[in-house]
Amino acid sequence: MSRVLLLGVPRSGTTWCGRVLGQTDQTIYVNEPDGDTEAFALPARSGFNGPPSLSIGQSAEAYERLWRGAFDGAGRPHSVGARVARYLNSSASSAERFSAWFDSDFTPRMRAVKRLAKPGELRSDFLNVVAKSVRAEFTAEWIADRFKPTVVLVERSPMNVLASWI
């Protein structure tokens, strides 16, 4: 199996690149498994008090499960608990999710997400996986060392990134 880790900053064209690469034969595209809207990203990133930061060789069990699932072409988990976690996470306000990423004091809703969320389930209907992240700025080397993907870095002019927000 071929693994690709697609990295960039938000609004840099990574989603477009990931979707294009994901259209190739027997390839699956996994969009931001560590992103703000993915339920299992909350327990996986919990305890870092901000963006995860890992050095090569460091242990991070839940974060490793998140990326292992991504590189296994993770489909959405179908257990009732995982579906409830997805619903609760998607219905949380941006402020509530943001607070959960940076604080250890979770609201009852975000505590339930953290407890119920599961990593994606293994899929076997592909040969290649493209996993994209705009939140791996301090873990890219750790991910590359642990899973040995081909790393593709998307660069875009900072002025164009700023213009895309307007």
CB 163 within 8 A of CB 37: no
Average pLDDT over residues 34-48: 90
- Distance separating alpha carbons of residues 124 and 55, to the nearest angstrom: 31
Compute, in degrees rounded to 10, the torsion defined by CA atoms 145, 140, 38, 98: 140
- What distances in angstroms separate CA 143 from CA 10, 25, 51, 66, one per listed residue? 19, 25, 14, 11
pLDDT of residue 129: 94
Query: What pLDDT digit, counting tens, does each position of 117-151 carry?
Result: 998 877 777 899 999 999 999 999 999 999 999 99
Report domain extents, the chain.
2-165
CA distance 103 to 113: 15
Q: The tokens of 124 are what? A: 């076997």
Residue 52 has pLDDT above 90, yes or no: yes
Render pLDDT for 83-120 as a digit per residue (tens, 0 to 9). 999 999 999 998 898 888 887 678 999 999 999 999 88
Mean pLDDT score of the chain: 90
What pTM does this model have?
Answer: 0.88
- Convert the pLDDT of each residue in 1-25 to its tens digit: 899 999 999 988 999 999 999 999 9
pLDDT at 72 over 80: yes
pLDDT in tens, 148-162: 999 999 998 878 777
Half-sphere exposure for 22 (CA within 13 Å, toward CB): 16
Query: 2-165 is classed in which CATH architecture?
Result: 3-Layer(aba) Sandwich (3.40)
Q: Residue 85 region, left (φ>0) first, then alpha (ψ -120 to 50), else beta?
A: alpha
**Which residues lie across from 130 on neighbouring strands?**
4, 29
